[in-house]
Amino acid sequence: MPHLTVAASEAVFAKTLELVVDAVGFEPAGSHDFGAFRAGYDGRLVLAGGDVELRSDGTIRLHELDARWEKLELRLVLELPQLQIGGGCFDGPLGGVVCLPAVTLFRGSPRVAVTIDLAPFVRHELTLVGTPRVDYFDPATSPFTERCQQVHTALDIDDTKTQWRVYCDPQTIDFDPFDLADTAGDLLVDAFSAAIEALLPPGLGVIRDAVFAAIGSIGDLVRTLLDIPDDIAEWLSDLFNVSFGLFNLVLQFVADFFGRCVSFYQLDDPYPVFPATDTLLAVSVPIEDLQATVDDLELVVTANVGE
Amino acid sequence: MTFTDRSPLYAAVHEDGINRMLRHLRRQRPSLFNYATVGFTQYLRPLLCAPIDATDQVLASGQPLFTTEQPLPVIGAVRPIGLEFCLQVTDATVDLHPGDTLTLPPELGTLADQQFALRASACFGLGCPADGTLRNLVAEMEAAAAADILATRPTANPQTSPRSTSTSPAFAAGDSSAPDVVTAGEVICFCLQVFGVGHIQWTTVAGDPEPWLATRLDGLEVVDIETVPPSGLEDIVECYLKQVVELGILPRLIQPMERLMFDVTRMLQDNAPNVGQQVTLVPAAVPADVPHNPAVEHDELRVYVKIQARRR
């Protein structure tokens, strides 16, 4: 018979996890040089809602958590190649040589940069199945990532004491990859259009249409410059999923968050039974053999008091 | 049946765990189990009835190993003097219902439903003055008594005061406002085995909205004193020890309910304010939710707790 037994119903456990999830965010940022252009992102992902289910096979299922980007800024910087439009001479029908006026665009290959916030266009759902995992935390020896440290600061978790910690260790994580709607592609084209048009020399006047006839639509130009095969929205999705590797980063974050970073239960070891007074030291008892199990109704933690 | 089918939170401590906690408590806070006059911090230290078992940390910290008590007054002394003494609880074991570890003395009967049994060894030591000291004291008391008589005469010297002999080697150094303490030549000890039965209940304390768990003593029996024919001596000792336990030791052992939950709601309570809520713990109602709360049964102390969340 264990010396100590603590049990929490599924409702208590679910509420605890809900609050823990609500309290933190993930703020990834990165950039990548693609040669023809450079892209970077800066985001903040938050988790909310979802259902928690304790299951008879000893697992915990966090179902349909809403993973929402509060911010997902994409910054693209590309160098516009100098374009020569018009010019050239041909023999005139009445004899002589006729030379057309020439327009040089993007002289000096200026850089154009756009930043768009894709947060409204991205929504993920997260489902996770984990098992309780007990770790012994020792501030002197336990590895601790900077990211965990930030989360602990947000949650006001005391990392100065040795503790038993119980995590929901993910066994499977089901996370929707980035799947951006066409409207996100439109936003990108609009942003580039505005930026490029600003670079066109003033007073193009009647030859403006000729310029655009020559270079095609701004969308075409963007596709060409960014080497986008066809669908801009799909290209954007791949950019985040594959090129930036943000999909994997989020998966890693979720795995670390639940599995290594934020324990849903922690017990000081030694456990303080009587606080210190002005003249007396605190009385505390060593905690040993801590175990955590779940069934479909409750979480049960057992432990022994050491010698 | 699950642990939480009657309340969302449940905690239990087995009697083996309680007994280990008691042992840690005795070694880490020896002043809760040892009471003595100030002489036992000095020259009488080796003469304690039982050596005080304390952790290295406690010994190194210099914290008091026993609670300092006033000397035992010598009744009728011409001026206030007292004897050194010590009272030590050297062992304590708890047996929760159904009581399969301790054998209670017949006077306490069978352990009733929801009760716990307690066995402790208590030693009392009295610092008895040596014959020479006593002779000196007699002379001093006679002098003091004589001084009192002389003081009633008109020609009495007002400088003659019973306190004038307070530096006598018959008295141990001490607080000048306290009674003089007679220097002990030896410490005479006797040890008794004490049994008790009691129950555990919720109580409230000023300044904390959440209830605390308190221990109540229902009966106490000393098994080593027998007089033929039976006399009040055993009753007197039992009465006194009962006061020591109920007024001295048990009030210091009350525990807030939160600590009994072993922090299972810490994460919940710490983070509820982030979403504008305050979470408090309340005991499950008896008998609406559970038949007994706290419950002392199956060798465990069990508590059933509900959660109340309200918007701040």
Output the CA–CA distances (angstroms, integers) from residue B17 to A65, A81, B104, in the order listed: 40, 78, 21
pLDDT at residue B176, as a whole number: 54
Of A208-217, B55-64, B254-263, B264-273, which one has max mean pLDDT?
B55-64
Q: Do A279 and B274 count as a contact with CB atoms less than 8 A apart?
A: no
pLDDT tens, B239-254? 999 998 999 889 988 8
Q: Which residue has the higher pLDDT, A159 or B166?
A: A159
What is the CB neighbour count within 10 angstroms for residue A197? Answer: 10
Reduced to 3 states (helix: H, G, I; strand: E, B; else coil), residue A197 is: helix
Closest alpha carbon to B134 in B63, B186, B70: B186
- State the best of B65, B255, B264 to mutate against chain A, taking most chain A CBs within 10 Å: B264
**Residues from chain B contacting residue A266 (CB–CB below 8 Å):** 263, 266-267
Tens-digit pLDDT string for chain A (307 aa) = 999 999 999 988 888 877 777 766 788 999 999 887 899 999 999 888 888 899 999 999 988 888 899 999 999 998 887 877 777 788 887 778 888 777 777 778 888 899 999 999 988 899 999 999 999 999 999 877 777 887 788 777 888 999 999 999 999 999 988 888 888 888 888 888 888 878 777 766 656 666 666 666 667 777 777 777 778 888 889 999 999 999 999 998 888 888 888 888 889 999 999 989 988 999 999 999 999 999 999 999 999 999 9
What's the pTM? Answer: 0.82
- Give the integer Cα–Cα distance in Å for B76 and B79: 8
**Residues from chain B contacting residue A283 (CB–CB below 8 Å):** 24-25, 28-29
- State the best of B25, B28, B275, B308 to mutate against chain A, taking most chain A CBs within 10 Å: B28
Token reading at B162: 């019973």
Q: Do B265 and A3 count as a contact with CB atoms less than 8 A apart?
A: no
Tell me the average pLDDT across B29-55. Answer: 94
Question: Which residue type occupies A97?
Answer: V
Residues 6+ apart with CB under 8 A from A100: A86, A87, A88, A89
**Residues from chain A contacting residue B17 (CB–CB below 8 Å):** 2-4, 304-305
pLDDT at residue B53, as a whole number: 93
Rounded to the nearest angstrom, the minimum Cα separation between B205 and chain A is 16
List the single residue in A22, A264, A279 with the smallest CB-CB distance to B63. Answer: A279
Reduced to 3 states (helix: H, G, I; strand: E, B; else coil), residue A304 is: strand
> What residues in chain A have their Cβ under 8 A from chain B's Cβ atoms?
1-9, 11-12, 15-16, 19-20, 22-23, 155-156, 264-268, 271-274, 279-281, 283-286, 295, 297-298, 300-301, 303-307
Rounded to the nearest angstrom, the minimum Cα separation between A4 and chain B is 5
Look at the block and give the residue holding tokens 């007054």: B73
**Residues from chain B contacting residue A9 (CB–CB below 8 Å):** 4, 8-9
Reduced to 3 states (helix: H, G, I; strand: E, B; else coil), residue A187 is: helix
- Give the integer Cα–Cα distance in Å for A218 and A195: 10
Closest alpha carbon to B137 in B101, B103, B181, B174: B181
Rounded to the nearest angstrom, the minimum Cα separation between B215 and chain A is 15
- Give the integer Cα–Cα distance in Å for B162 and B141: 8
Q: Do B14 and A4 count as a contact with CB atoms less than 8 A apart?
A: yes
- Give the integer Cα–Cα distance in Å for A219 and A213: 13
Secondary structure letter of residue A177 according to DSSP: P
- Give the integer Cα–Cα distance in Å for A151 and A26: 9
Q: Do B10 and A268 count as a contact with CB atoms less than 8 A apart?
A: no
Instruction: Nearest chain B residue to A296 by CA: give it.
Output: B2
- In sign, the C-alpha dihedral spanning B113, B114, B120, B124 is negative
Q: Do B2 and A12 count as a contact with CB atoms less than 8 A apart?
A: no
Rounded to the nearest angstrom, the minimum Cα separation between B107 and chain A is 31
Please provide the size of chain B in residues. 312
Class of residue B52 by CB neighbours under 10 A (exposed 0-12, middle 13-18, buried 19+): buried
Residues 6+ apart with CB under 8 A from B116: B15, B94, B95, B96, B97, B197, B198, B199, B200, B296, B301
List the single residue in B25, B261, B272 with the smallest CB-CB distance to A273. Answer: B25
β-partners of residue A114 are A76
pLDDT at residue B166, as a whole number: 38
Check whether the bond before B106 is cis (ω within 30° of 0): no
Instruction: Nearest chain B residue to A17 by CA: give it.
Output: B268
β-partners of residue A301 are A6, A292
Reduced to 3 states (helix: H, G, I; strand: E, B; else coil), residue A217 is: coil
Q: Do A12 and B8 count as a contact with CB atoms less than 8 A apart?
A: yes
Q: Do B14 and A2 count as a contact with CB atoms less than 8 A apart?
A: yes
**Residues from chain A contacting residue B57 (CB–CB below 8 Å):** 281
Element (H, E) at A291: strand A287-294
Q: Do A8 and B263 count as a contact with CB atoms less than 8 A apart?
A: no
Residues 6+ apart with CB under 8 A from A197: A218
Tell me the average pLDDT across B55-69. Answer: 94
pLDDT at residue B165, as a whole number: 40
Q: Do A285 and B24 count as a contact with CB atoms less than 8 A apart?
A: yes
Look at the block and give the residue holding tokens 């928690």: A52
pLDDT at residue B92, as a whole number: 92
Q: Do B263 and A265 count as a contact with CB atoms less than 8 A apart?
A: yes
Q: Do A285 and B20 count as a contact with CB atoms less than 8 A apart?
A: yes
B235: left (phi over 0), alpha (psi -120 to 50) or beta: alpha
Helices A246-256 & A146-155, crossing angle to 10 degrees?
60
Cβ-Cβ pairs closer than 8 A, A with B, add up to 134
Q: Could you report the predicted ipTM of this complex, rounded to two decimals?
A: 0.85
- Give the integer Cα–Cα distance in Å for A274 and A282: 6
* B167: pLDDT strictly greater than 50: no
pLDDT band, residue B159 (cuts 50/70/90): low
Token reading at B61: 């910290």
Contact (Cβ atoms closer than 8 angstroms) between residue A105 and residue A145? no
- Give the integer Cα–Cα distance in Å for B304 and B8: 8
Q: Do A3 and B268 count as a contact with CB atoms less than 8 A apart?
A: no
Instruction: Nearest chain A residue to B264 by CA: give it.
Output: A265
pLDDT at residue B168, as a whole number: 52
Contact (Cβ atoms closer than 8 angstroms) between residue B70 and residue B32? no
pLDDT at residue A114, as a whole number: 92
- Give the integer Cα–Cα distance in Å for B213 and B256: 6
Rounded to the nearest angstrom, the minimum Cα separation between B45 and chain A is 20
Q: Do B11 and A5 count as a contact with CB atoms less than 8 A apart?
A: yes
Element (H, E) at A267: strand A265-268
pLDDT tens, B178-197? 678 999 999 999 999 999 99
- Give the integer Cα–Cα distance in Å for B186 and B131: 11
pLDDT at residue B40, as a whole number: 94
- In sign, the C-alpha dihedral spanning B189, B190, B191, B197 is negative
Please provide the size of chain A in residues. 307
pLDDT at residue B162, as a whole number: 46
β-partners of residue B93 are B119
HEC-encoded secondary structure of chain B: CCCCCCCCEEEEEEHHHHHHHHHHHHHHCHHHCEEECHHHHCCCHHHCCCCCCCCHHHHHHCCCCCEECCCEECCCCCCCEEECEEEEEEEEEEEECCCCCCCCCHHHCCCCCCCEEEEEEEEEEEEECCHHHHHHHHHHHHHHHHHHHHHCCCCCCCCCCHHHHCCCCCEECCCCCCCEEECCCEEEEEEEEEEEEEEEEEEEECCEEEEEEEEEEEEEEECCCCCCCCCHHHHHHHHHHHHHHHHHHHHHHCEEHHHHCCCCCHHHHHHHHHHCEEEEEEECCCCCCCCCCCEEECCEEEEEEEEEEEEC
* B120: pLDDT strictly greater than 90: yes
Reduced to 3 states (helix: H, G, I; strand: E, B; else coil), residue A82 is: coil
